[in-house]
Amino acid sequence: MAEPRLHPVVPRPGHGDDQRLQVRAQPVRLEPDQAALRRRRHQVTPSGRPKRLPKVQAKFGSDAQNEKTLARKTAIKNKFLKSWEAYKTYAWTKDELMPLSGRGKNTFCGWSAQLVDALDTLWIMGLKDEFRLAVAEVALIDWQSTSQRKINLFETTIRYLGGLLSAYELSEERVLLLKAIELGDALFAAFDTPNRLPVKWLEFERAKNGRQEAETSMSIAVGGTLFLEFTRLSQLTKDPKYYDAAERVKKFFNEYQPKSHIPGLWPRDLNYREKTGTENHRYTMGAGADSFYEYLPKMHALLGGLDPEYEKMTVAALDATRDNLLYRPMTPKDENILLSGVVIFNDDGNARYYAEMHHLTCFAGGMYALAAKLLKRDDYLDIGSRLTGGCVWAYDSFPTNIMPEISEHIPCKDKNGPCEYKPESFPSNSESPLPDGFVRAREPGYKLRPEAIESVFYMWRITGDQKWRDAAWRMWEGIVKATETQLAFASIENVAEQKSEKVDSMETFWLAETLKYFYLIFEDDHVLNLDEWVFNSEAHPFKRPV
């Protein structure tokens, strides 16, 4: 497909919110040649009328929006605007803002990652003039122009491709779909290997010369966190090649699922070249695995329940996670909460359990809650509530009202029964005291991450229980107090210190995810209703089939 020639016209202020960005482009064929498709033998997305899946979102009363709620929503929007204005002033078209030094930096190929990642948040918050300004810049991105020799398949997919697709679905600005097609075609080259499974780092020269081979060790998150984006691109363009690429990975994962050390779960890393495991037998809901598990029930929703394998994989994975990874931590008040740990098998096949808690695993509460509704599993909703409650407990425990990146705990013998608190079981550390219930904060910082508030958002939208909104506001006040800078917001080094040192970093997910989820908790419930939309790992919403 030839690249469209784009000539953006930036709209002048004051032309009304419904004005479209005018872009002249060469026509792009969205209906592929059927004979060519047969020659390629691409698997097409499941056909037929989508199933009537169970309702996900709770019914809210008229009192869900009151004066206090509106004030809180406005406060969150104002902090987004502060961050956005700082990015515009000091880092425009760069990938990230450095919120202490007031400079920009390129971390994701220099394609204006923050611009693309924040597009849908701008739209959702009603900032239409800012949205059009951003779209005008995005239309000029040249995906072949980058100072980086390698392109990260995972990050490029969730931030750029996901951001473009979501912003297109919300605004119907056609140029965003054209840019998504351009990028999708570029990323499709990552599958140009002998067995047509992807590489982690896409190098165009190697791809052109036919020298790519699938990885011998790559995380399941890299391979699995493109299911939503590639599938949605095929649904929108009617070109099945993107879905076909994702489906090949899914088939590999589906075949391997019952063969692992913990049937139902996957080790964090797999050998994509040989379609086997690796010597790394680490089982976790954390980094390298998290977003793949997240996508299993979401793909069930995006495909309208027409692929039964996603439901089967979801149930097997969530049941195995419940039985093997989740634990109840010993806490002073014996809170009925759950955290997600790590299991590692040694070469002899013996397993060791680590009662760690990673901020990244806080997404799991929302995953269980969503699966509970989609699959009619009430037990999953209880697990989701307890997991989300565990993350809220961790936030509430620290003086900053923020949980650390990684902490260690003492697991109870029974995750479903009472657990006596034994202070003598915890080490005393007078130099760096921790809240009761914490053994160690292995990584004590906070990087403006969204996973905890993401699950709070799901619990609020799915149950309508006010306690989740209350928890969100406590978390919000703690984050603002600890991370706000003169320009914007920054990561901090230690959540156990009231005035922690800040880090000159504001990752793009602050505007794309964290602030979006906070805002949506206090927004009208009809905005991005979970019965109509499904979010990718970067909080970019895609329309579900009707």
Q: Show the tokens assigned to 31.
A: 């209906």
What distances in angstroms separate CA 409 from CA 75, 126, 300, 330, 394, one per listed residue?
35, 43, 34, 7, 11
Question: DSSP of 101-163, one letter per residue?
Answer: TTEEE-SSTTS-HHHHHHHHHHHHTT-HHHHHHHHHHHTT--TT--S-SSEEHHHIIIIIIHH
Which residue in 294, 405, 454, 525 is the catalytic one?
A: 405
Active site residue 290: yes
Active site residue 451: yes
Which residue in 117, 247, 451, 507 is the catalytic one?
A: 451
Q: For 332, what's the count of Cα atoms within 13 Å in the CB-facing half-sphere?
A: 9
Q: Which of 234, 297, 304 is nearest to 48 (CA)?
A: 304
Amino acid at 522: F
Tell me whether strands 342-345 and 339-340 are parallel, antiparallel or unpaired. Answer: unpaired
At 369 the three-state DSSP class reads helix
Which residue in 229, 290, 356, 513 is the catalytic one?
A: 290
Query: What residues have CB less than 8 Å from 287, skipping those under 6 apart?
Result: 221, 358, 360
Active site residue 405: yes
Helix axes 378-397, 466-483, angle to 10 degrees: 30
Active site residue 96: no
Q: How far is residue 94's CA from residue 103's CA, in Å, rounded to a whole number? A: 9
User: Integer distance in angstroms from the first to the last C-alpha of the chain?
Assistant: 30
Sign of the torsion formed by the C-alpha atoms of 195, 198, 201 and 204: positive
Phi, psi (rounded to 5 degrees) for 354: -120, 120
Q: Which residues are annotated as a binding site for Ca(2+)?
A: 537
Query: What residues have CB less than 8 Å from 443, skipping those under 6 apart?
Result: 404, 405, 406
Which residue in 3, 155, 484, 531 is the catalytic one?
A: 155
Q: Show the tokens assigned to 412.
A: 């109870």
Q: How far is residue 317's CA from residue 433's CA, in Å, rounded to a whole number? A: 37
Strand partners, 201: 152
Distance of alpha carbon 93 from its chain centroid, rounded?
22
Q: Show the tokens assigned to 366.
A: 């929302």
The catalytic residues are 155, 290, 405, 451
